[in-house]
A and B are shown apart, each in its own frame.
Chain A
Amino acid sequence: MKSANFARFKLAAIIIIIIVDILAAISYFKPSKSELLGHIPPDLISEAGNKYSEVYNNYFVFNIARGRDVKTARSATFIGFVGQVIPADEGVASAFSDVFLWLPALLDGAKITILLTITAVLAGLVLSIFLALGKIAKTKIISGFCSAYIFFFRGSPLLMQLFFIYYGLPQINPSLTINNKFMAAFFAFTLNTGAYCAEIIRAAIQSIDKGQFEASRVLGLTYAQTMRLVIIPQSIRRLIPPVANEFIMILKDASLVSIIALADLTHVTRSISSSANNVMVYIPAMIIYLIITAVFSAIFVRLEKRFSLYQ
């Protein structure tokens, strides 16, 4: 019970920190009255009745609520802060004004990121069971092959593996072309995370007491039965924390796919940033990453608890 409460508390704390961050960012960038009035085109000032709060509300807060329409109609170069005049399009003031506008695109990107991570880690786990059992197998050819595979995919950069699968394979043989960017990324990430998870599973299996193997053998269980009924069920609880770790790593490494122009969260963020000429989009994007990792961390804490019932 305690750890569930703790997880809930952690989640709440993260959300509060995010909200405080947003508020701090907005208030920090709120221009002072003189700054604002000093740089506002005269016709706009008259229109707003020369009142700071009204100008601010009309042209800053209003923009946040309504998005680009108002901004493009009114923006020009009237927002200033910290003694500088910055065109609204580049400036911080417009940053959060567009959050609601960006959000659907960002969430679409987040969907790709999550989907890629979940499918790749699940497929990678299946692959890794065979790799792990292969690596501890007594047959030299099998264990040699699995060791080499793990060595290669853990020892070379994921980005290069991704490049190679997407750009390299078609050049080796046109039949190896993977047109679907998601599929290319899925293959690269599965092959990569499979190698990492294989090491996790191998370590978990080898951490099980030798007596468990001996008891199974003496009772007449075959090797496959021993693994399936005795060793793997006991390993699962020990697997969850490192696999959760790997999952979060892959979630963040998934941003690499933006380089092959798969529209994940990072790619969407980059394109918004360059087309709107606004770097502030990175802040909500990173917040979305934080929320995703927080949610999945909480899920893994739950899973770990469920599998530790008999302890």
Chain B
Amino acid sequence: MSLIRTENIYKNFNEIQVLADVSISVEQGEVICIIGPSGAGKSTFLRSLIQLEKITSGKLYIDEELFLHRENNITQYRIESVKYKSLLLEMGMVFQSFNLFPHKTALENIMMAPINVKNMPKPQAEALGAELLAKVGLAEKADAYPARLSGGQQQRVAIARALAMEPKIMLFDEPTSALDPELVGEVLNVMRGLAESGMTMLVVTHEMGFAREAADRVLFMSDGAITEEGSPELIFSNPNNQRTRQFLNTVLGI
């Protein structure tokens, strides 16, 4: 059963076409990496899944239920609002720029959504927060404000914050692109752990090493479309598509 399925998603910013006929299906427990040159629409695709962007047309299914259907910027169908909210919360998102709340400590950042969205009692949220901080290796930073944390630590708190809402699928939007090179590893390790624990993940990344080793499937996007997809072995060692080959040659320096 697929957790997320998209059918023919198009997205235009004014005259510019950003997404062109993107159809994918994400199965339970799958780790999918989306790679491709910048401007290919990878982030836009992720953002339109979680409704930070409005698609121009296409259908989006969550848990095999039609969630949204739009044609030419007009909503044809949208699931009723209680369901809308709960299905949307099946997705958690991690941003390139972390977007932690700077006026809250690491622990408070994690507790905010469970308390205010799920009405979780405060002690329970606190326990959950402490547990998640330990999971990302930051148990001792519970009371630190984001400004006191390194980029890698901030991103790990951001991952814990997203996990606190117990999503079924995690979306990562270039989670390591804003980090200093020596901080990339700690974030990728947390993500690897998450993948091993069976979390369904959709990762937009430029970390080819991570994609190769952690992904079940790699999607290559260029010019708003998925031009190639397959197992990491296939994509990285024997890509069919000319664009894929070109891109990999550039980034891997082959």
Interface residues, chain A, with chain B CB atoms under 8 Å away? 209, 211-212, 214-215, 217-221, 225, 229-230, 233-234, 310-311
Contacts and interface: CB of A to CB of B under 8 A. Distances in A.
Given A212-B101, A218-B93, 10 more contacts: A211-B95, A211-B99, A219-B161, A219-B165, A220-B89, A221-B113, A225-B117, A234-B102, A310-B147, A311-B102
A160 B99 CA distance: 46
B145 A215 contact: no
27 contacts: A209-B97, A211-B99, A212-B99, A214-B52, A214-B99, A215-B100, A215-B101, A215-B158, A217-B52, A218-B52, A218-B92, A218-B162, A219-B113, A219-B117, A219-B161, A219-B165, A220-B85, A221-B116, A225-B116, A229-B112, A229-B116, A233-B103, A234-B102, A234-B103, A310-B103, A310-B145, A311-B102
Contacts of B116: 221, 225, 229
Interface residues of B, number: 26
Interface string B84-100: 01001101110101111
Nearest to A212: B99
The interface residues of chain A, by DSSP majority, are classed as helix
A237 to B, nearest CB: 9
Interface string B42-53: 000000001010
A149 B161 CA distance: 41
B101 to A, nearest CB: 6
A225 B89 CA distance: 16
Nearest to A211: B99
Which are the 7 A-B pairs with shortest beta-carbon distances?
A: A211-B99, A215-B99, A219-B113, A220-B117, A310-B145, A218-B93, A220-B89
Contacts of B145: 310
Contacts of B93: 218
Interface string B156-183: 0010011001000000000000000000
Given A214-B52, A225-B116, A220 B95 contact: no
A215 B95 contact: yes
Nearest to B85: A220
Interface of B: 50, 52, 85, 88-89, 91-93, 95, 97-103, 112-113, 116-117, 145, 147, 158, 161-162, 165
Contacts of A209: 97, 99
B102 A310 contact: yes
B247 to A, nearest CB: 28
A220 B114 CA distance: 9
A215 B85 CA distance: 15
Contacts of B158: 215
A220 B98 CA distance: 17
Contact of A219 (B98, B103, B112, B147): B112
B205 to A, nearest CB: 18
B252 to A, nearest CB: 31
B6 to A, nearest CB: 18
Contacts of A219: 112-113, 117, 161-162, 165
A93 to B, nearest CB: 59
A211 B161 CA distance: 15
Contacts of A214: 52, 95, 99
Contacts of A234: 101-103
Nearest to A218: B93
Contacts of B112: 219, 221, 229
A221 B164 CA distance: 13
Nearest to B97: A211
A111 B89 CA distance: 55
B46 to A, nearest CB: 11
Contact of A220 (B88, B102, B103): B88
A206 B85 CA distance: 26
